[in-house]
């Protein structure tokens, strides 16, 4: 009867979304495949490598000492920023969620507004704030490794990026804390914990997945950060990986795509690895946060 | 430790949590806070614990006002409905935690934890995490944790509500026994009147944020002070009928359409001549006989609910329906014509507008 | 027996200021590091930006010779020949990217990926998240290569009818919208997908029993459930797009007619575009965006009933 035709249509119906999705996702897939291929070839016409596959593009790893300095900077930046964001968001998220103090509601409203602020347009003024910090003895310019917290220091960049991520971090952590049962909090307080102890020993371990998600997201953001380091560190091509990469790119038609792609892939690999192992956490961080209205 | 509450009031904006709760708890006493959800019993408990700050009134431990004392300094143990065990710690760590916070020396900690674990029957579970325990086991760990710091006051917030019926009954007895042995003053919040009646020395009944009654269970049952208490306590619940009480030939009769019941003189005098009053009688004090077998109020069986040991028979008398507990053997059926008799000594009367008992106040 | 009533004793001792401070101090200790940073890098800069916009501070005036010029900068903006076109461009950019990708594609991908086996849906959404996580420089480079001249460029290689020249100068907006869109879509996609997945099964089943086909189900069951996420994503992403310029900066640096308002401000103030850093003027340009952002934020706080989200803690300070 019509049985056969129905199954054809059914089959089409269930395959159609997948086909449609594949078409839409195509540019992304192609793009990343290209990056991968071109690192191993001299030049590519489209996706096709010309000539033999080669490791020459990767020679920067052993020929160019700058790359390791830049990578180190990027690591310091990402790690510093991540620690800062997680610590400060965890502390203030707890207070916003679990403690009552005057100004709490106002501050919550404030962070929501800040979160939607054109934060990047404040760069102009942040420039002046950083220059002012330069003038503070020791903190301004003389801290080892990160240089200080002022303009043209890695520490300064860490502070700025950390600050710009705080509104999001605070709301996300608040959301996670909100999901912890009040009974657990009360039990801790009755058993003898001070608030700080309850925070550190009881509540924080319970939301470990959330903390991890925030840390991952923050690290990935810091790893790829471009604009802030570019703007606030004068030696633009030697600050972080992203800036270094841009320096290599030059105009709209760079000469050696292969090498550029190799450096780019070098920067991309940690993200990919993180990504493969932590997809679920990252997905949850957005939907968990959305319940709090972020 | 003695606990006393004086005019304890909690308001959130215009919403009332509790109003003017005043009662005293003797040292070593087991008191239940009983009432439907939203009546303010948990709110009161949390004010005693120091989690909520009273809007007005005082909480006193041994005569000392503790309104401003932090929960951790009140030397109390609390058992929650959700157990609130620390999920990332083992059972042993959960038990030891309050002691650790109190800077108890290490070997004393171990000894006490072991002793309490044995008392609660969980010593074989010391290395497990809460997620690996059953509900009943978690509840025991929660109780153990409340005890390890050797508190002067034990607070229970509906601890058995999440357990299945069987377990609830056995835990009830265990908690009661435990409290008797240890002699710690205890406050037990519940909405289950059976729990309150079986476990407590005195029961505080609350509704709408107000204290309705505060007395031993037997008094609560036999001498309810108002309509609410009478209806809330006792299962199956009390019957209520609107009647007028008249004196005839030296006897008191409670009368309504189709109903004429004899009332004992002691009870009758209070209700007579007041116009309409509410009559209350418990199903077990209503005797039921087949219509041809005796005298009494005529009625027709509306529904029969077998309860195992007895049958709960609902009888319609005109427009009114009355429940009676009948012997299972009698085997009543829907439509049977029967006669009811109210035990004259067990009839209660209530004022229809104030809802207060006319007998006990 | 009867309830004992005692006459009310004195009310609890009056609240001193010191007492209030002490009970609030825990909160402050927890908050202080974050508050310091927020003040340093949000509040103070906002004030500075407003202040700066009232001066003609630039590297040519230096820090010794600048003047307060009041609203002159704003006057300059509104009479500037570039202002109109830039504003229009920005509106076009925000509108097009929002409609096509940040809301459009987000919705499409969310709908599609929730109608296929769960694992597969997960993989597709993860792929769409990739652009957001990729360092922007490499991500833009990828797109530059798509547009490159033949024989290198991917598009020119496989679609010869495109002509063979570098596509970026000829169709800059296509690429601006594409690059920003693929990043932006992931935000909405995740919110929509999780909203769709939390629609109670019963609704879906009821619709099936009632005989809905796929389109009807989308229209009558799914879209109503997405009302709030849609509103939220639209508002939030509008702001995001309005103020984002990093990708455009890397892709075209504003050339070929792609300089949006935020980039204009950045160029004037922080890059040697015009031979000097024009802090005052650049700040004024930024203020325009800040004002729009603040107004929009207040509006959407109303929409999302802020008060509901901010419940008082259930453990009170004594």
Summarize pLDDT for B32-58 with one digit per residue, the tens. Answer: 999 999 899 999 999 999 999 999 999
**Contact at CB, B69 and C318, closer than 8 angstroms:** yes
Kindly state the DSSP code that residue C99 receives in the 8-state scheme.
Answer: I
Q: Between B and C, how many CB-CB pairs are < 8 A? A: 45
CATH code: domain of residue A74:
1.10.3720.10
Q: Write out chain C residues lying below 8 Å of B361, CB-based.
A: 2
> A touches which chains (3+ CB pairs under 8 A)?
B, C
Residue C125 has what pLDDT?
Answer: 84
CATH code: domain of residue B296:
2.40.50.140
Cα torsion B216, B221, B223, B225 to 10°: value is 90
pLDDT at A119 over 70: no
Residue A289 has what pLDDT?
Answer: 39
**Contact at CB, C2 and B225, closer than 8 angstroms:** yes
- B344 domain-assigned: yes
> B touches which chains (3+ CB pairs under 8 A)?
A, C
In angstroms, the separation between the Cα of residue A202 and the nearest Cα of chain B is: 7
**Tally of residues, chain B:** 361
Cα torsion B236, B239, B271, B350 to 10°: value is 70
Q: Write out chain A residues lying below 8 Å of C63, CB-based.
A: none
CA contacts within 13 A on the Cβ side of B52: 26
Reference C263, options B137, B296, A227; nearest CA is A227
Find, in chain C, the residue whose alpha carbon is nearest to that of B217.
C1
In angstroms, the separation between the Cα of residue C229 and the nearest Cα of chain A is: 9
Residues A99 and A235 grouped into a single domain: yes
Q: Does A98 contact B at CB distance below 8 Å? A: no
**Contact at CB, A183 and B145, closer than 8 angstroms:** no
Domain edges within chain C: 92-279
Q: Write out chain A residues lying below 8 Å of B49, CB-based.
A: 186, 190
**Residue given tokens 């033949």 in the structure block:** C150
Residues B66 and B157 grouped into a single domain: yes
Question: C59 versus A206: which is more confidently predicted?
Answer: A206
Find, in chain C, the residue whose alpha carbon is nearest to that of B12.
C312
> Which domain covers residue A220, as residue numbers?
60-290
* Residue that is last in its domain, among A15, A36, A54: A54
- B355 domain-assigned: no
Question: Per mean pLDDT, which range of A61-70, B109-118, B249-258, C168-177 is the poorest?
Answer: A61-70
- B245 domain-assigned: yes
- Fold of domain C92-279: MetI-like fold (1.10.3720)
Q: pLDDT tens digits, chain C, 318 residues: what are they?
A: 444 444 434 444 455 666 666 667 788 888 899 989 888 888 888 888 888 888 877 777 777 777 788 888 888 888 888 888 988 998 899 999 999 999 999 999 998 888 888 778 878 888 898 888 888 888 888 888 888 877 778 888 788 788 778 888 888 898 999 999 999 998 888 888 878 877 778 888 888 888 888 788 888 888 888 877 787 788 778 878 888 888 898 888 888 888 888 888 888 877 765 567 787 888 888 888 878 877 877 777 777 666 555 667 777 777
**Contact at CB, A120 and C246, closer than 8 angstroms:** yes
Residues A82 and A176 grouped into a single domain: yes
Residue A290 has what pLDDT?
Answer: 35
**Contact at CB, C136 and A30, closer than 8 angstroms:** no
The token duo for B39 is: 């009546």
Buried residues in A197-215 as b, exposed as e (16+ CB within 10 A): bbbebbbbebbeebbbbbb
Residues B123 and B210 grouped into a single domain: yes
Question: Per mean pLDDT, which range of A159-168, B39-48, B298-307, C202-211 is the poorest?
Answer: C202-211
- B111 domain-assigned: yes
Q: Do B256 and B327 form a contact (C-beta atoms < 8 A)? A: no
Distance CA B57, CA B20 (A): 7
Residues B167 and B185 grouped into a single domain: yes
Q: Identify the residue among A81, A99, A231 best suited for mutation to test binding to C, counting C beta carbons within 10 A and taking the highest.
A: A99
Average pLDDT over residues A71-89: 91
Q: Does C201 contact B at CB distance below 8 Å? A: no
Residues A39 and A109 grouped into a single domain: no
**Contact at CB, C2 and B54, closer than 8 angstroms:** no
Residues A121 and A264 grouped into a single domain: yes
pTM assigned to the model: 0.80
Residues A18 and A116 grouped into a single domain: no
Q: Write out chain A residues lying below 8 Å of B145, CB-based.
A: 187, 191
Across the interface, of B72, B87, B88, the residue whose CB is closest to A189 is B72
Residues B32 and B179 grouped into a single domain: yes
Residues B218 and B256 grouped into a single domain: no
What CA–CA distances, in Å, run from A209 to A203, B68, C186?
Answer: 12, 36, 21
CATH code: domain of residue B228:
3.40.50.300
> Which domain covers residue B285, as residue numbers?
239-350
Residue A291 has what pLDDT?
Answer: 34
Q: Identify the residue among B82, B84, B96 best suited for mutation to test binding to A, counting A beta carbons within 10 A and taking the highest.
A: B84
- B360 domain-assigned: no
Q: Identify the residue among C24, C33, C133 best suited for mutation to test binding to A, counting A beta carbons within 10 A and taking the highest.
A: C133
pLDDT at A280 over 70: no
Q: Does B153 contact A at CB distance below 8 Å? A: no
In angstroms, the separation between the Cα of residue C6 and the nearest Cα of chain B is: 8
Residues A185 and A281 grouped into a single domain: yes
Residue B231 has what pLDDT?
Answer: 93
**Contact at CB, C178 and A126, closer than 8 angstroms:** no
Sheet holding B259-263, edge to edge: B259-263, B251-256, B239-248, B276-281, B348-350
Q: Identify the residue among C1, C7, C11 best suited for mutation to test binding to B, counting B beta carbons within 10 A and taking the highest.
A: C1
Reference B286, options B299, B272, B270; nearest CA is B299
């Amino acid at each position: 009867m019509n049985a056969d035709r129905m199954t054809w249509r059914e089959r089409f119906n269930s395959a159609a979304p997948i086909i449609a999705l594949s078409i839409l996702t195509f540019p992304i897939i192609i793009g990343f495949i290209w990056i991968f291929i071109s690192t191993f070839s001299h030049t590519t016409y489209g996706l096709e490598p010309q000539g033999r596959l080669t490791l020459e593009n990767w020679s920067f790893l052993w020929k160019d000492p700058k790359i390791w300095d830049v990578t180190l900077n990027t690591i310091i930046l990402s790690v510093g920023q991540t620690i800062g964001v997680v610590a400060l968001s965890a502390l203030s998220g707890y207070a916003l969620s679990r403690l009552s103090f005057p100004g709490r509601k106002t501050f919550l409203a404030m962070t929501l507004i800040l979160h939607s602020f054109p934060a990047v347009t404040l760069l102009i003024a942040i420039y002046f704030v950083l220059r002012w910090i330069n003038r503070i003895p020791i903190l301004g310019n003389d801290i080892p490794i990160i240089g200080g917290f002022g303009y043209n220091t890695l520490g300064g960049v860490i502070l700025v990026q950390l600050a710009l991520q705080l509104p999001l971090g605070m709301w996300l952590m608040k959301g996670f804390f909100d999901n912890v049962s009040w009974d657990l909090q009360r039990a801790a307080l009755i058993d003898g914990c001070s608030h700080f102890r309850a925070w550190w020993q009881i509540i924080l371990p319970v939301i470990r997945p959330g903390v991890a998600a925030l840390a991952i997201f923050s690290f990935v953001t810091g790893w790829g950060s471009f604009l802030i380091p570019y703007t606030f560190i004068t030696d633009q091509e030697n600050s972080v990986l992203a800036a270094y990469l841009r320096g290599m790119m030059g105009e709209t038609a760079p000469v050696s795509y292969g090498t550029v792609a190799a450096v780019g892939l070098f920067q991309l690999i940690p993200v990919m690895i993180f990504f493969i192992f932590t997809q679920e956490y990252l997905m949850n961080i957005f939907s968990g946060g959305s319940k709090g209205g972020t | 430790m003695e606990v006393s509450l004086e005019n304890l009031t909690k308001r959130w904006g215009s919403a009332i949590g509790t109003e003017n709760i005043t009662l005293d708890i003797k040292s070593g006493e087991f008191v239940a806070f009983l009432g439907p959800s939203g009546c303010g019993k948990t709110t009161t408990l949390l004010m005693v614990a120091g989690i909520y700050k009273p809007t007005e009134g005082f909480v006193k431990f041994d005569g000392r006002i503790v309104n401003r004392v932090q929960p951790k300094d009140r030397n109390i143990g609390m058992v929650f409905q959700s157990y609130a065990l620390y999920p990332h710690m083992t059972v042993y760590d959960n038990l030891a935690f309050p002691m650790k916070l109190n800077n108890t020396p290490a070997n004393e900690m171990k000894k006490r934890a072991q002793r309490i674990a044995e008392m609660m029957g969980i010593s074989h579970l010391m290395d497990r995490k809460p997620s690996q325990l059953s509900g009943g086991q978690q509840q025991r760990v929660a109780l153990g944790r409340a005890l390890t710091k050797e508190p002067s006051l034990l607070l229970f917030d509906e601890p058995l509500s999440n357990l299945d019926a069987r377990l609830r009954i056995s835990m009830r007895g265990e908690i009661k026994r435990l409290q008797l042995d240890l002699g710690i003053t205890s406050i037990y919040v519940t909405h289950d009147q059976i729990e309150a009646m079986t476990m407590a020395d005195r029961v505080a009944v609350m509704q709408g944020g107000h204290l309705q009654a505060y007395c031993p269970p037997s008094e609560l049952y036999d001498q309810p002070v108002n309509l609410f208490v009478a209806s809330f306590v006792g299962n199956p619940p009390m019957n209520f009928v609107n009647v007028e009480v008249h004196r005839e030939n030296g006897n008191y009769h409670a009368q309504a359409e189709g109903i004429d019941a004899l009332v004992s003189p002691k009870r009758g005098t209070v209700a007579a001549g007041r116009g309409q009053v509410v009559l209350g009688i418990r199903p077990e004090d209503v005797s039921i006989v087949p219509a041809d077998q005796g005298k009494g109020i005529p009625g027709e069986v509306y529904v029969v609910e077998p309860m195992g040991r007895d049958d709960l028979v609902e009888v319609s008398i005109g427009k009114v329906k009355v429940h009676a507990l009948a012997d299972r053997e009698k085997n009543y059926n829907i439509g049977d014509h029967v006669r009811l008799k109210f035990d004259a000594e067990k009839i209660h009367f209530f004022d229809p507008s104030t809802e207060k008992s006319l007998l006990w106040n | 027996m009867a309830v004992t009533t005692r006459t009310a004793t004195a009310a609890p001792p009056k609240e001193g200021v010191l007492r209030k401070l002490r009970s609030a101090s825990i909160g402050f200790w927890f908050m202080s590091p974050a508050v310091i940073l927020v003040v340093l890098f949000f509040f103070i800069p906002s004030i500075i930006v407003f202040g700066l916009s009232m001066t003609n501070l630039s590297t040519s005036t230096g820090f010794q010779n600048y003047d307060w010029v009041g609203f002159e900068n704003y006057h300059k903006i509104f009479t500037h020949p570039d202002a109109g076109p830039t504003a229009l461009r920005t509106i076009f950019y925000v509108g097009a990217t929002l409609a096509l990708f940040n809301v459009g594609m987000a919705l499409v991908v969310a709908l599609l990926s929730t109608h296929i086996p769960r694992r597969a849906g997960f993989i597709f959404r993860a792929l769409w998240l990739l652009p957001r996580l990729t360092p922007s420089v490499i991500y833009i480079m990828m797109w530059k290569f798509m547009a490159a001249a033949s024989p290198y460029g991917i598009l020119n290689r496989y679609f010869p009818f495109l002509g063979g020249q570098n596509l970026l100068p000829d169709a800059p907006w296509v690429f601006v919208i594409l690059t920003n869109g693929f990043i932006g879509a992931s935000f909405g996609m995740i919110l929509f997908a999780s909203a769709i997945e939390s629609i109670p099964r019963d609704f879906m089943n009821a619709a099936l029993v009632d005989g809905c086909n796929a389109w009807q189900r989308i229209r009558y069951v799914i879209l109503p459930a997405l009302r709030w996420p849609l509103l939220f994503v639209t508002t939030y992403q509008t702001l995001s797009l309005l103020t984002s310029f990093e990708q455009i900066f890397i892709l075209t640096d504003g050339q070929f007619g792609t300089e949006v308002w935020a980039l204009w401000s950045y160029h004037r103030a922080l890059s040697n575009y015009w031979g000097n850093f024009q802090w005052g003027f650049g700040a004024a340009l930024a203020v325009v965006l800040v004002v729009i952002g603040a107004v929009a934020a207040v509006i959407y706080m109303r929409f999302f009933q802020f008060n509901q989200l901010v419940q008082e803690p259930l453990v009170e300070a004594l």
